[in-house]
């Protein structure tokens, strides 16, 4: 019995190895038909998106991917880029850094001339280094982490603002409110939650303010009593508390903060741009101010885009702000291809680096003179009476080094 099982297993193994080969061969052409060649020619613009459709990056990449599909659809309906139809190939890298190179290579093999990378630099590094071997440029739709531009050994581009930019915008807005003292909350669990307060402090103090204290928290900790107590004991209370916390933590935290009688303003970042924050924090959400990518002011492109996306999907987008970054990246690519006048990857890359004041869903974007973290407007939103209310949109005047 055993020996029969043994030989069955060997046969099974051989069969499966064969299957793998078949899959491996199939993987090249299966999804794009005549995929074709990279390089100058071809009558198509092929955008490859290596995204975390599952895993840690999904909350950012999934909305962005849906928006990208919509944006590409709109472009194609309007005749394409320079008359060329756009093909968008989206592949899931499962938020696994080891898979990023493999999937990127598959996209390159399918003819991608430009790559959209996943939402975090750690998992995007492989994409960047692999694409670099064929001179293909990588942009990340929703990442706000400046290190994305260097992590893969070659220059890659953020399409959202860098965390240094949005923190600086929040600091500038806080200073405008007359705030002089600040207290920050950091978490080492993500570089996002770790560095935002650092950037904020740099910008805040540059503008004459003072950070009087800092505390740490763990993402997902259910109870912030320890942190709240420390803040409540400060006398005088800080004008503003700044953190990179995002819901549900923000909701839990603000409720405990207000219950302890602390009235300091609470400022956050784009992670707060979600309806669940209002749903979970209730009345205590009022007064929270955060920086985000954009806002559907009446008549704005943002509003138009989100409406169109809703119609395209058949349901309202779950994370509109993150979705719009998907629209942004398509706009940037379109602008770059038009500027380069060709679909040659190297040319596209050069073009991106020189883009200036390009109109995107979330305002304007400039890459010229930057290291990959664009100059881009930051929107400031406040929660009033349980509603998101637009406050301002600007490029901060002082941006700390990332």
Partner 1 sequence: MSGLPEQGETLAGRGAGLVPAAGAARASACAAEERRVQRRELLVAFGGSVGLFVIVAAIALGYATLGGSQRNTAIVLLMNMVLVIGLQIFSGNSGVLSLAHVSFAGIAAYISAILSAPTLVKGTTIPDAPFGLAGVELPAPLAMIVAVVVTTLIAAVIGLAIARLSGISATIVTLALMLVVFAVLTNWKSLTGGAEAFYGIPVTTNVWWGLGAVFVALVVARLFKASRLGLRVQSTREDEVAASSSGVQVVRSRFWSWVLSSAVCAMGGVLIAHFLGAISPSGFYFTLLFLTLAMLVLGGEYGVTGAVVGTVLMTIVSEATRYLGDGPVVFGVDIPPLAGLSQLVQGAIIIVVMIWRPSGLLGDRELDGLLSRRLLRGTRSAGGRVAAASMETAAADAIVTGEAAAGATATGEAVPETPAATATAEAVPETPAGPGAAAAPAADAAPAAAALSVRGASMQFAGLAALDDASLEVHSGQVVGLIGPNGAGKTTLLNVISGLYAPTAGEMTLNGVSLNGLRPYQIARLGIARTFQTTRLFRELTVRQNLEVAASVARGHRPQAARSAAEILSQFGFEEIADTKAGVLPYGVQREVEVARAVALGPGILLLDEPAAGLNDAESMELVSAVRGIRDREGCGVLLIDHDLHFVMALCEYIYVLDAGRIICRGVPEEVQRDPLVVAAYLGTRGGEAPATAPTMPALGEA
Residue 81: half-sphere exposure toward Cβ, Cα within 13 Å? 27
CA proximity to 178, closest of 214, 211, 208:
208
What character string, x for contact with partner 1 (CB under 8 A) and - otherwise, covers 263-282?
A: --------------------
Minimum CB separation from partner 1 for residue 16, in Å? 5
Q: In this complex, which beta carbon is closest to partner 1, that of residue 150 or of residue 237?
A: 150
Strand 375-376 relative to strand 363-366, pairing: antiparallel
**Of 36, 39, 42, 54, the one binding partner 1 by CB under 8 A:** 54
Helix orientation angle between 58-77 and 301-313, rounded to the nearest 10 degrees = 90
Does the footprint of partner 1 cover residue 91 (CB under 8 A)? Answer: yes
Q: Is 363 helix (H, G, I), strand (E, B) or coil?
A: strand
C-alpha 258/C-alpha 25 separation (Å) is 60
Does the footprint of partner 1 cover residue 17 (CB under 8 A)? Answer: yes
Q: In this complex, which beta carbon is closest to partner 1, that of residue 49 or of residue 289?
A: 49
DSSP state of 344: -
Phi, psi of 170 (to 5 degrees): -65, -40
Contact window for partner 1 (CB under 8 A) among 12-20, 264-272, 352-360, 373-381: 12-20
Does the footprint of partner 1 cover residue 225 (CB under 8 A)? Answer: no
Does the footprint of partner 1 cover residue 11 (CB under 8 A)? Answer: no
C-alpha 271/C-alpha 250 separation (Å) is 10
Q: Can you read off the two tokens belonging to residue 320?
A: 């509109």
C-alpha 302/C-alpha 265 separation (Å) is 27
**Of 24, 178, 208, 299, the one binding partner 1 by CB under 8 A:** 24
Does the footprint of partner 1 cover residue 67 (CB under 8 A)? Answer: no
Residues of this chain, 184-203, that bind partner 1 according to CB under 8 A? 188-191, 194-195
Q: Are 232 and 172 in contact (CB under 8 A)?
A: no
**Of 38, 75, 101, 217, the one binding partner 1 by CB under 8 A:** 101
Does the footprint of partner 1 cover residue 7 (CB under 8 A)? Answer: yes
Does the footprint of partner 1 cover residue 44 (CB under 8 A)? Answer: no
Does the footprint of partner 1 cover residue 36 (CB under 8 A)? Answer: no
DSSP state of 211: E
Does the footprint of partner 1 cover residue 102 (CB under 8 A)? Answer: yes
**Total residues at the site for partner 1 (CB under 8 A)?**
63
What character string, x for contact with partner 1 (CB under 8 A) and - otherwise, covers 201-220?
A: --------------------
Phi, psi of 136 (to 5 degrees): -95, 140
C-alpha 58/C-alpha 53 separation (Å) is 5
Phi, psi of 162 (to 5 degrees): -80, 160
CA proximity to 120, closest of 89, 155, 152:
152
Question: What residue has token string 């700390």?
Answer: 400
Q: In this complex, which beta carbon is closest to partner 1, that of residue 246 or of residue 302?
A: 246
Contact window for partner 1 (CB under 8 A) among 10-18, 111-119, 233-241, 389-397: 10-18
Residues of this chain, 106-125, that bind partner 1 according to CB under 8 A? 106, 108-109, 120-122, 125
Residues that bind partner 1 (CB under 8 A): 1-3, 6-7, 9-10, 13, 16-17, 19-21, 23-28, 30-31, 33, 53-56, 58, 62, 90-92, 94, 96-99, 101-106, 108-109, 120-122, 125-126, 129-130, 145, 147, 150-153, 188-191, 194-195
């Amino acid at each position: 019995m055993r020996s029969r099982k043994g030989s069955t297993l060997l046969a099974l193994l051989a069969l499966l190895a064969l299957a793998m080969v078949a899959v491996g061969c199939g993987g090249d052409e299966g999804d794009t038909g005549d995929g074709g060649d990279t390089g100058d020619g071809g009558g198509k613009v092929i955008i490859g998106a290596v995204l975390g459709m599952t895993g840690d990056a999904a909350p950012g990449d999934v909305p962005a991917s849906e928006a990208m599909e919509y944006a590409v659809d709109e472009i194609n309906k309007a005749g394409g880029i320079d008359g060329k139809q756009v093909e968008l190939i989206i592949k899931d890298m499962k938020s696994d850094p080891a898979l990023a190179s493999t999937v990127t290579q598959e996209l390159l093999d399918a003819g991608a001339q430009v790559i959209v990378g996943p939402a975090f630099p750690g998992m995007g590094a492989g994409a960047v280094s692999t694409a670099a071997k064929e001179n293909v440029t990588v942009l990340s739709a929703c990442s706000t982490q400046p290190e994305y531009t260097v992590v893969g050994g070659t220059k890659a581009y953020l399409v959202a603002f860098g965390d240094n930019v949005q923190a600086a915008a929040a600091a500038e807005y806080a200073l405008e409110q007359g705030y002089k003292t600040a207290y920050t909350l950091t978490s080492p669990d993500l570089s996002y939650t770790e560095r935002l307060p650092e950037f904020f402090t740099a910008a805040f103090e540059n503008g004459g303010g003072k950070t009087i204290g800092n505390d740490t928290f763990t993402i997902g900790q259910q109870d912030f009593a320890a942190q709240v107590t420390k803040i409540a004991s400060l006398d005088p209370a800080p004008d503003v508390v700044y953190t990179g916390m995002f819901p549900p933590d923000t909701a839990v935290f603000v409720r405990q903060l207000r219950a302890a009688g602390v009235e300091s303003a609470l400022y956050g970042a784009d992670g707060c741009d979600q309806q669940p924050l209002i749903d979970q924090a209730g009345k205590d959400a009022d007064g929270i101010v955060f920086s985000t990518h954009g806002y559907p002011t009446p008549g704005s492109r943002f509003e138009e885009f989100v409406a169109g996306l809703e119609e395209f999907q058949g349901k309202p987008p779950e994370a509109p702000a993150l979705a719009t970054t998907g629209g942004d990246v398509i706009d940037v690519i379109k602008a770059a291809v038009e500027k380069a006048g060709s679909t040659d990857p190297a040319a596209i890359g050069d073009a991106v680096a020189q883009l200036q004041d390009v109109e995107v869903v979330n305002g304007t974007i400039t890459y010229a003179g930057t290291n990959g973290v664009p100059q881009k407007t930051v929107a400031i939103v406040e929660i009033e009476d349980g509603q998101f209310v637009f406050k301002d949109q600007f490029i901060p005047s002082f941006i700390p080094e990332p």
